[in-house]
Copies of this chain bind each other. A is one copy, B any other.
Amino acid sequence: MPEHLRVAIVGATGYAALEAVRLLEQHPHAEVAMLCSRRDPQPLFSDIFSAMRGRCDLHCEPIDAAAIAKKAEVAMLCLPAGIAMELVPALLAAGVKVIDYSADYRLKSPADYQEWYVREHTDLEHLDEAVYGLPERFRSEIRTARLVANPGCYPTAAVLGAAPFVEAGLVDPQDIIVNAASGISGAGREPKQEHHFPERNENFEAYKVGEHRHMVEIERMLDGCAPKGRTNVLFVPHLVPMERGILTTTYLKPLQPVSVEHAAQTLAQAYADEPFVRLRSGMPCTRDVARTNLCDLTVRVAKGRLIVVSAIDNMVKGAAGQAIQNMNLMCGLDETAGLL
């Protein structure tokens, strides 16, 4: 490994790529070596993101595995689902470590992928090899992985909140409701009527009730925690008129009465020594974790339910920050490098 880890960011014109570039600016042992996009002609990065003028004036380049392998040890793929899996085999073959921000390698079952992404998975070999990049659950596997599937933003918040209780067998795995809310950056950078400022401001709504693709991702992850391997998760996301942040409020059904102290202890044990999980006695809020890689968690017990509240920055712990955390692990760096 060289002195400075060289990172290629592929699909450089979206918010996740911008956040990755910003975070890598602060990284002591890694740097942005290359930006790639699917645009033609290729843009100057700082023409896309005017805030980066003078801070990152790289020109984007075409997406070419061989070219990437010459300039970088790690590729972060910020491409839509379906496109990423076309590129991954060549990158891995060229010896590049890959962190894929899309959903292409998150669902182990090709049938799940087919059902929810409505296309056939075309890289089953690496689907099998890929590690789900949630370090709090798969740290050791990530350390040796060549291909990491960076988790979705909602699943990061929801799984970190619910997994300890499912795993401890404290709650009914068939009765899990994840109510979530996200800032608008989660909807991407493409302008849309419903995210036009005058329509989005002073507005709050639910969307894709029980139909959002992150539902299956959350469920499969929690399946992996459940003693009998199968959970049932209802996921309902909402949109908040703010730029960034996700808060999940998860409703779990204790199998037997549980005290809030015991519930809090379950969280504390699960996340002892975790550098980016912060247990709170008060209520987590998105502002407290904005622009950090932290996940703030708390738990309450009321009316026969156990309620877990989880807050992350969807662009950091929910995307680029977690990708860097994964990169640090994959490359033998301090896991927190550039993130504290």
Which A residues are closer than 8 A to B by beta carbons? 15, 25-26, 50-51, 53-54, 177, 179, 181, 183-185, 189-193, 195-207, 209-211, 215, 232-234, 236, 238, 240-245, 247, 249, 251, 278, 280, 282-291, 300-305, 307, 309, 311, 340
Contacts and interface: CB of A to CB of B under 8 A. Distances in A.
Given A179-B251, A196-B197, A198-B243, 17 more contacts: A25-B340, A26-B26, A50-B288, A51-B289, A53-B280, A177-B251, A179-B179, A181-B181, A181-B238, A197-B200, A205-B247, A206-B249, A206-B284, A207-B283, A234-B303, A238-B247, A240-B241
A301 B211 CA distance: 10
B241 A197 contact: yes
Given A181-B181, A283-B209, A303-B234, A243 B201 contact: yes
Copies in the complex: 4
Contacts of A197: 184, 195-197, 200-201, 241, 243
A51 B287 contact: yes
Contact of A204 (B206, B242, B303, B304): B242
Contact of A303 (B195, B210, B247, B304): B210
Contacts of A191: 191-193, 195-196
A71 to B, nearest CB: 23
A225 to B, nearest CB: 18
B251 A251 contact: yes
Contacts of A285: 50, 203-205
Nearest to A282: B50
Contacts of A199: 287
B247 A210 contact: no
Nearest to A26: B26
